[in-house]
Structure 1
Amino acid sequence: MTLPTILVVAAALVDVDGRVLIAQRPEGKALAGLWEFPGGKVEPGERPEDALIRELHEELGIEVSEACLAPFVFASHGYDSFHLLMPLWLVRRWKGVVVNRHHAALAWVKPNRLSDYPMPPADAPLVAHLRDFL
């Protein structure tokens, strides 16, 4: 059986103290309560970079320019009903103050503490890359 591939974009926002922003999935959504990197699905015809800029504005109220998106690593994970492909960008510069618009909670976490937060299977492998790089 061939599963559809879903393209989802994500960002590791890194603040001046070297902490990474993670967001807790709200009740009522799949994988509720787990922590993830902010982002979301790419709409048909949308460029991944544009999707990430849109999602960060919708979810966190910040403005990010494409020049501030640094491609970092990607996740490729098979779930029961689809395959997820998720590029992760590092973002160190943005305009505005991060506000929680859609999540149960937000947390700024040192890279070596990210593994303390339960994450979806696609996000979890990204933690080691961030810990080793940052």
Structure 2
Amino acid sequence: MTINIVVGAAIIRDGRLLAAQRAEPAELAGGWEFPGGKVDSGESDEDALVRECHEELGVKVALGDRVGGDWPLSAGSVLRVWTAGLVEGEPRALEHLELRWLGRDELGTVGWLPGDLPVVEAIAAYLG
């Protein structure tokens, strides 16, 4: 069975984490996540994440630490997350409903998607 790899960026600036609200598909719309997406065939996880951040947010990022290992998503899919910093541009909601910068004490104020929630707890250690 092939495992689908989804990559996510924990973009941190000034001790705050960038959260993105899904616009689609319908079953995930309104939920909050780490920006990112699927890794294309022949593409490294890191290259996919840099590409996805550019497509979804209009920014260039530099990846930092990998956060944990493979975080389980739906059947046959795993989430791999890296911390990231902005190198160029200001994030824009090009494919999301909304973006928010959340401090450590604000992480619980949005409805994270179930697959992203365990990672949020791990990311808290990187924030202020």
Q: TM-score range by the shorter chain?
A: 0.7 to 0.9
CA positional deviation for 1:5:
2.2
* Structure with the larger strand share: 2
Which 5+ residue runs of structure 2 have no aligned equivalent?
Answer: none
TM-score normalised to structure 2 length: 0.88
Which 5+ residue runs of structure 1 have no aligned equivalent?
Answer: none
Off by >4 Å, runs of 4+ in structure 1: none
Count residues in correspondence. 127
State the partner residue of 1:13: 11
State the partner residue of 2:90: 97
The CA deviation string for residues 103-124 of structure 1, in whole angstroms up to 9 with x for no partner, is: 0111111123212211121100
Alignment of 1:79-98 (within 5 A): 79=74, 82-98=75-91
CA positional deviation for 1:27:
4.5
**What is the rounded CA distance, in whole Å, between the counterparts of 1:123 and 1:99 in structure 2?**
20
CA positional deviation for 1:75:
4.5
Cα 1:72–1:78 shift into 2, 3 Å: closer
CA positional deviation for 1:77:
1.9
Q: Is the 8 A contact 2:73 2:79 kept in 1?
A: no
TM-score normalised to structure 1 length: 0.84
CA positional deviation for 1:92:
2.3
What SS class does the counterpart of residue 54 from structure 2 fall into? helix
The CA deviation string for residues 12-70 of structure 1, in whole angstroms up to 9 with x for no partner, is: 11112x110010001544311100000000011110000001000000111124xx432
Q: Highest Rg: 1 or 2?
A: 1
